[in-house]
Chain A
């Protein structure tokens, strides 16, 4: 069966849960301890599709308010991205558009899915569906609500991105 390799990136502010999402999707586990990522960690997950095998190379990038030249360079060859915000921190929504802009400068055709993570923290949630709908609609993207802690919707978000990449 044909093997297709695709590079995808996880973007978003620090501590929104990018590394936890990758760990949940690739290793099926969650660690409560927050450890800041510096640079990039590339993980792999193979997904069997109807007519091919998809080898997803998942780039977990350093989180920060601004992408430096170093981080923008990481985006070369990216077929799609999950741009993540923290549902308990409204300020992490404000930067979603900026990450999307950086990605589209490097690859205008890149597929996009926005993620509102930490869905399990219901009492602390401060970002509404309406806010995420507005942000994603302005960039012709869609959003998913996930919890890396419980695993809710995590695989669905990655698979949705895979579908969008393959459709484009």
Chain B
């Protein structure tokens, strides 16, 4: 295709279009001689570099006005030689006459015109509007990243502290077991030595010692379990057992305290065989914790019902009471570690926020789940679902 030469109208139009483009995009130009002196500038050049005084640039070294080009003299020479097409620096920060930052995209390329001669064309585009948006985005991104780093550090510190705390509890629990065992054994010895018909009250006190040392033993076990669970080293010793027999054993353990509080214990156990492969001591521990809670959080003369039944292939164990119950908030956090609900004024006791957390973990280790229904002043109902084959 033959190239048709442009007529004068087209050239004039192109020149106007170029001017319009420069105005819309806020582009200022300068022409620089090969010895890097500024020879001509567009009328908006001074405002682009405000607070530079009008007319002050002509004849000045380019690097004294655009000091961003100091060090780039070699590259500028390469542009003049034609070995480098252009040089560009984006988002150059410059303070304006009000101290506000303006952002300029600076580019330099070769210009060889019949009117101006051989030299460099320097273009400055004011990109402040876009750059300010970019700055805000960068600021937000960086602040988020810093906040994330802080959170990670805080989290790591909390984990270290938690580990130390668990280690301390675990050591304390171990140390408590020795003296506790001595107390219990001494109680047993006294029971054998003292004729209880001579000292009728002694039997009552010995029962009390036995019950309380057993209770302390359970608490210590909870603390030690927590350590093992948190380290992920708690393992189950599975064996097939009769779940109803296990329930009766747990009820026997809790009976003394229930009787002291004049609570009735009602058993509704399935007549069907309930043989399950579980870690008997762990399920016993879970049931004991639930039953102990039902006793503790109940009024004198209250009622506790213990049920067992099958739902398909799932064994269901349920402990219900008509005690104090929980508020909606307490219910929502009941299985949370160290969560302590509001102390009931009638109750004068408070949980340690350990028992239910461990019960849930033990049940889940068996592949089961636990649910809680509770209403303030009406009572609570805990239901454990255990699969026939864990």
Give chain A's interface residues, CB within 8 Å of chain B: 5-7, 14-15, 34-42, 44, 55, 57, 62-63, 70, 73-74, 76-79, 89, 91
DSSP class of B's interface residues: helix, strand, loop or mixed?
Answer: helix
Q: Please tell me which one of the listed residues A35, A42, A78 contacts residue B67 in the complex, with CB atoms under 8 A apart.
A: A42
Query: What 6 new A-B contacts, CB under 8 Å, besides A7-B71, A38-B131, A57-B71?
Result: A39-B90, A42-B67, A73-B88, A76-B75, A77-B70, A77-B73
Which residue of chain A lies nearest to B146 when distances are taken between CB atoms in the complex? Answer: A15
Cα of A91 to Cα of B75 in the assembled complex, Å: 35
Q: Encode B90-108 as 1/0 by CB contact (under 8 A) with A.
A: 1111000000010100000
**Which residues 61-77 of B have a CB within 8 angstroms of A?**
63, 67-68, 70-75
Give bound CA distance, A89 to B145, whole Å: 12
B68 near A40: Cβ-Cβ < 8 Å: yes
How near does chain B come to A49, taking the closest CB pair, in angstroms? Answer: 17
B155 at the interface (CB under 8 A from A): no
On chain B, the residues within 8 Å of A55 by CB distance are 70
B115-151 interface (Cβ within 8 A of A) = 131, 134-135, 138-139, 142-143, 145-146, 149
Counting residue pairs across A and B whose Cβ atoms lie within 8 Å, the total is 72
User: Contacts A70-B90, A91-B149 known; A35 to B71 CB distance under 8 Å?
Assistant: no
- In the bound assembly, the distance between CA atoms of A55 and B75 in angstroms comes to 20
Give Cα A12 to B115, complex, Å. Answer: 46
Contact of B134 with A38 in the complex, beta carbons under 8 Å: yes
Contact of B72 with A76 in the complex, beta carbons under 8 Å: yes
Contact of B142 among A7, A14, A39, A79 (CB under 8 A): A14
Q: Is B168 an interface residue (CB 8 A)?
A: no
Q: Report B-chain residues with C-beta under 8 Å of the C-beta of A91.
A: 149
Indicate whether B89 reaches chain A with its CB closer than 8 angstroms. yes
Interface centre among B71, B91, B135, B138 (most CB of A within 10 A): B71
Taking the nearest CB of chain B, how far is it from the CB of A61, in angstroms? 10
Is there contact, CB below 8 Å, between B92 and A40?
yes
Contacts of B75 in A (CB 8 A): 76-77
Q: Using Cβ atoms and an 8 Å threshold, which residues of chain B touch A40?
A: 68, 89, 91-93
CB<8 Å pairs between A and B, sample of 25: A14-B142, A14-B145, A36-B139, A38-B91, A38-B103, A38-B131, A38-B135, A38-B138, A39-B89, A39-B90, A39-B91, A39-B92, A39-B93, A39-B131, A40-B92, A41-B101, A42-B92, A42-B93, A55-B70, A57-B71, A76-B87, A77-B72, A77-B73, A89-B149, A91-B149
